[in-house]
Structure 1
Amino acid sequence: MFIQASQMADTNASAPGWLRTEGGLIVERGAGTAPVPPDQRFDMLLPPFVDVHTHGARGIDFGMLGSDPGPAIAFHHENGTTQLNATIATAALAEVKKRITELAPLVWSGELAGIHLEGPWISPEKRGAHESSLLRVPAAAELLDVVEAGGGTVRLITLAPELPGAMSAISALVAHGVVVAIGHSNASAEIAREAVDAGASDVTHLFNAMSGLHHRTPGVASVALLDGRLSVELIADGQHVCDDAVDLAIRLAGDRLLLVSDSMAASGLGDGHFQIAGSPVEVRRGIARIVGTGALAGSTSVLRDGVDHLLTRGIDPRSIALWTNGNPARLLNLQVPALRRNDPADFVGVTAGRISCVSHRGELSFF
């Protein structure tokens, strides 16, 4: 199959180009006009998405003991995300370890890119939807015991560096090959920088559930924007972060951003009542909020929704490719398809400014 694009956008360039796919692979890639009339035309082609922070979809929470994550993984694939990190939110420690052992075979088989633990080692002041009675302080030995339960599949852990024992835990985790993210944290800028010095290299969903940008008491958000050692996750669904704040992040940390969905089990199901991290959640008009407080609780979007939002705002497609493919792959040291010859034929097609098609192993699905 020949596919022509007015813009072939990857992390290096954005120019007219074409692909030829066969047997689920990209067997040729060229610049300009395809040598034969193409089978499909798009205004733009993007590489497939990598989501390092998603809790599930289609009624499946990746942290739910005994549940089959297959429907959630399939939903993300259908929407252009072909590599994803299954995020387990705060739960009892025994449950977390058990769920890690259930998900680990899917990482070894390549169905999941890895496992992300978001809690329970987070700040009570910035816990969001995470049940307060389940939170813990980050003892290094305890964290390493949890990591070892996954046999190398736990790739990312979010913790609050101001908690007792956090700095030694960060150093121990990094020494064991785990990426540490600063998140759900009320840390001062000084403590956040100390965490980076200890080895933390990522920030969980910028601006959400963290100390912010006060002009006399800067917090985690300030360090995220200014410290070039940090990768910075951003939820660009138009709800969690306003466009002005997104533009600020692009201006100050544009080469370090990663788009994440933070999607929950409600994704793909519509409005209703759900649960995440031990807290009841109501989804109304597509927005998930904690029952009783009204605070945002994860999202019901997928990366496709965030990309559509950025495309409608005229954001450079090369940057979008970097934030949804290049940077997340680099953070977790993943080999992912990226519109290269001999890559799996995974890509996202854009027509009239919105995603119109997803290819997974050469099978095209249209929206």
Structure 2
Amino acid sequence: MISGQIVRPGAVVPGHLTVDGPTILEITEDDRAGDDIIVPGFVDIHCHGGGGHTFTTGDAEQTRKAAAFHLAHGTTTMLASLVSSPFDLMREAVAAYLPLARAGVIAGVHFEGPYLSGARCGAQNPEFLRDPSIEELSALVKLGEGTVRMVTVAPELPGALEAITFLRDLGVVVAVGHTDASYTEAQAGVAAGATVGTHLFNGMRPPHHREPGPVIGLLSSPAVCELIADNIHLHPGMLAFTAKTAGPDRTALITDAMDATGMPDGTYDLGGQEVTVADRVARLARNGSIAGSTLTMDAALRNAVAAGISLPDAVTMASTTPARVLGLADEVGALTAGRRADLVVLDVEFRVKRVMRGGRWVDSTTR
């Protein structure tokens, strides 16, 4: 039995949570429960690595270690996100990560690129950018047998709308991102089947009152908008404004973390490009562009609450909404009887005390 302030959809309930094997059995209210805060395990749909390990090279052992690092910070479900890469590396990564997805180490692969805008590529390697290829996508999805879970596409590129619909029909989540699209082009991407906006504001044409661009196009659509809550990619005021505008059911906290997360300042690599990390900020050495983050999901939750977002809403953004994006809402993302016993015990300052995944407590030595 786990006791404390239990964060359930839309409310904080003092009481006890009982686990039966890997499953939540029941939740019982009790005003005498302690001060610990119990939240569902975090679901990160956009992460490139952490703890000195990367998802971006197709290395299975690196991926195991990066996933373990984030698990110790409360992320019980995550996608392994790659950056723009040659097709051979994409194919090798899918083959290497298929067993990890089947074992539950990761929930699947997210390809952030290479089908992105050169004008808004950010820290993506421009050498590898190209127009969407249904031939490539078909081969990757077939090879992955369900491992390819999400692909980010710039909808204004030639062939993009056809690729988005193709992926949607195969059950792959499509995100609009790293895009110079107009308002109309962004909405066309959603109409074609995209359901996510990749790190809203970042890697996108900025809004303008005469051409709203992709930011407003996505906010005005049914798409779920990713938000990097590190207070670097987004000002806390913008984080709170977006969460209020779209609502917690249409915003998802992500880390966009790279291998430097949890590591000392220094020089790192992202997609074959040198990245310098100083005081938590990662930037490309060649032009100073922000290059991913050094964020963990527990820190993202703290930042969201500090920005004025209520705890139940912040938890929805960190767990419930991203679980729904992946089609896993019946399994994870909320503390409800019958769902998997994935949970995080936080102290009153929202710092991780313990993590449970599938009914088992996780070793915290990597935190």
Normalising by structure 1, what TM-score? Answer: 0.92
Query: Any idea what the Cα deviations from partners look like across 1:121-157, whole Å, max 9, x if unmatched?
Result: 1000111111111111012222222222212210100
1:63 maps to 2:56 = yes
The 5 Å alignment of 1:320-339 reads 320-334=314-328, 335-336=331-332, 338-339=334-335
Partner of 1:4: 3
C-alpha distance in structure 1 between counterparts of 2:325 and 2:58, whole Å = 27
Code of the aligned partner of 2:194? A
The residue identity in structure 2 corresponding to 1:341 is: A
Secondary structure of the residue aligned to 2:304 is helix
Please list, as runs of the form range in 1=range in 2, the aligned pairs for 1:208-247 lying within 5 A after superposition.
208-227=202-221, 229-247=222-240
After alignment, is 340-349 or 351-360 more displaced? 340-349
Is 2:279 the partner of 1:285? Answer: yes
Secondary structure at 2:91's aligned position in 1? helix
CA distance in 2, matches of 1:139, 1:346: 37
Question: Which residue in 2 is equivalent to 1:340?
Answer: 336
The one of 40, 47, 61 equivalent to 2:40 is: 47
Percent identity over the alignment is: 36
The Cα of 1:117 is off from its aligned counterpart by 0.3
Please tell me whether residue 313 in structure 1 is matched to residue 307 in structure 2. Answer: yes
* 1:212–1:21 Cα change, 3 Å: same
Q: CA separation in 2, counterparts of 1:330 and 1:343? A: 13
Give the aligned residue type for 1:10.
R
Do the aligned residues in 1 keep the contact of 2:119 with 2:180 (CA within 8 Å)?
yes
Runs of 4+ in 1 over 6 A off after TM superposition: none
Structure 2 gaps of 5+ residues are none
8 Å Cα contact 1:90-1:278 kept in structure 2:
no
- The match for 2:251 is 257
| Distance in 2 of aligned mates of 1:145 and 1:24 | 35
CA shift, 1:308, in A, is 1.3
Partner SS state of residue 333, structure 1 = coil
Q: Which residue of 1 aligns with 2:156?
A: 162
Unaligned runs of at least 5 residues, structure 1 = none
Deviation at 1:21, TM superposition (A): 4.2
Whole-Å separation in 2 of the counterparts to 1:299 and 1:314 = 22
Residue 199 of structure 1 deviates from its aligned partner by 0.8
Aligned to 1:53, the other structure's residue is in SS state: coil
What's the offset of the Cα at 1:59? Answer: 2.0
Q: Judge conservation of contact 2:74–2:352 (CA < 8 Å) in 1.
A: no
Query: Residue deviations 1:15-60, cap 9 Å, x none?
Result: 22222346565444201246xxx7xx33422111000001111222
CA distance in structure 2 between the partners assigned to 1:158 and 1:129 by the alignment: 14
Q: Distance in 2 between matches of 1:24 and 1:149?
A: 30
Conserved? CA contact 1:348–1:355, under 8 Å:
no
Which residue of the partner structure matches residue 119 of structure 1? 113
CA RMSD after TM alignment = 1.9
Determine if contact 1:349/1:358 at 8 Å carries over to the other structure: yes
Pick closer, same or farther for the CA change 1:235–1:199 going to 2, 3 Å.
same
* Counterpart for residue 18 of structure 2: 20
Whole-Å Cα distance in 2 between the matches of residues 48 and 363 of structure 1?
Answer: 12
Query: How many residues are aligned here?
Result: 359
Measured after TM superposition, the shift of residue 13 of structure 1 is 2.3
Q: For the residues of structure 2 that align with 1:189 and 1:24, how far apart are their CA atoms?
A: 45
- Seen in structure 2, the aligned counterparts of structure 1 residues 92 and 287 have a Cα distance that, compared at 3 Å, is same
CA distance in 2, matches of 1:231, 1:246: 14
Give, in angstroms, the shift of residue 272 of structure 1: 1.3
Secondary structure of the equivalent of 1:108?
helix
In the aligned structure 2, how far is the partner of 1:317 from the partner of 1:65? 36
Q: Deviations over 1:210-240 (max 9, x none)?
A: 112111111111112221x201111111111
SS at 1:87 equivalent: strand
Aligned to 2:361: 363
